């Protein structure tokens, strides 16, 4: 009887150890797939890459078009509670910059989001953004720097710029000039995955 219980317990522990983990993408329209055909966004491409590489992760896209860091701060606890992620990709801030929100507020909101994710024992990847110099060079520089500051302060991983390598290529953006088009999504994934891959556990043998 004891042997049967021990074997059952060991099997349960093994199954838990090998259980599929969750990656939460916590972003705005750049991750929600705004203006793209269904399934064409970089988050869907991430799911496909994880399957090809046989990594045991599910992806939950908790991104909302138009989201700001303030909105993200208000809903991060519920997302963490509902999905219990192993990794959180924080892709927020672009709408703060486009609206000219105070950089100090953006920083405080990002810190709160990352801290909440760390408290839930998730690893965090902060995705940086840049904006046009509409509000002047000082604001533009301070805004760009905030993502690295938050990542360094909170000991999180960092993608310095989500649109690295193609931000000036108009043909890779939709008609609004803000949202990358379908052809740019693989580039976004490559940029993010370079940093994300190091946060993922190898597949158990």
Q: Given this model, what pLDDT does residue 100 score?
A: 97
Active site residue 179: yes
How far apart CA 65 and CA 53 sit, in angstroms, is 29
Domain membership of residue 27 (yes or no) is yes
CATH number of the domain at 57, please: 3.40.50.1110
Domain membership of residue 13 (yes or no) is no
Active site residue 83: no
Q: Which two tokens stand for residue 100?
A: 């000219």
Domain membership of residue 172 (yes or no) is yes
Domain membership of residue 12 (yes or no) is no
Q: Given this model, what pLDDT does residue 15 score?
A: 41
26-69 tens-digit pLDDT? 999 999 999 999 999 999 999 999 999 999 999 999 999 999 99
For residues 179-192, average pLDDT: 98
Task: Judge whether 61 and 31 are in contact, CB under 8 Å.
Answer: yes
How far apart CA 24 and CA 14 sit, in angstroms, is 24
Structural domain count, the chain: 1
Task: Judge whether 194 and 187 are in contact, CB under 8 Å.
Answer: no
For the entire predicted model, the pTM comes to: 0.90
Provide the pLDDT confidence category of residue 110 given band limits of 50, 70 and 90.
very high
What does pLDDT average to over the chain?
A: 92
- The gap from C-alpha 30 to its chain's centroid, in whole angstroms, comes to 10
Domain membership of residue 10 (yes or no) is no
Catalytic pick among 28, 31, 63, 179: 179
Q: What is the DSSP letter of 1?
A: -
Q: Which domain holds residue 179?
A: 21-199
Catalytic pick among 82, 118, 176, 190: 176
Domain membership of residue 7 (yes or no) is no
Domain membership of residue 2 (yes or no) is no
Q: Is the pLDDT of residue 129 over 60?
A: yes
Q: What is the DSSP letter of 36?
A: S
Catalytic pick among 10, 18, 29, 82: 29
Active site residue 18: no
Domain membership of residue 3 (yes or no) is no
């Amino acid at each position: 009887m004891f042997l049967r219980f021990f074997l059952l317990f060991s099997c349960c522990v093994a199954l838990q150890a090998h259980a599929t983990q969750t990656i939460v993408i916590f972003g705005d329209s750049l991750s929600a797939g705004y203006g793209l055909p269904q399934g064409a966004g970089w988050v869907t491409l991430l799911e496909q890459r994880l399957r090809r590489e046989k990594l045991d992760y599910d992806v939950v896209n908790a991104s909302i078009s138009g989201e700001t860091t303030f909105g993200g701060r208000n809903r991060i606890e519920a997302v963490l509670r509902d999905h219990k992620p192993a990794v959180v990709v924080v892709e927020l801030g672009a709408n703060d910059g486009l609206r000219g929100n105070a950089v100090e507020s953006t920083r405080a909101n990002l810190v709160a989001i990352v801290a909440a994710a760390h408290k839930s024992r998730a690893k965090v990847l902060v995705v940086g953004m840049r904006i046009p110099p509409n509000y002047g060079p000082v604001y533009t520089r301070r805004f760009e720097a905030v993502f690295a500051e938050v990542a360094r302060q909170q000991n999180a991983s960092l993608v310095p710029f989500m649109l690295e390598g193609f931000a000036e290529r108009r043909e890779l953006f939709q008609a609004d000039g803000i949202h990358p088009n379908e052809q740019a999504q693989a580039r976004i994934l490559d940029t993010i995955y370079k940093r994300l891959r190091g946060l993922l556990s190898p597949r158990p043998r």
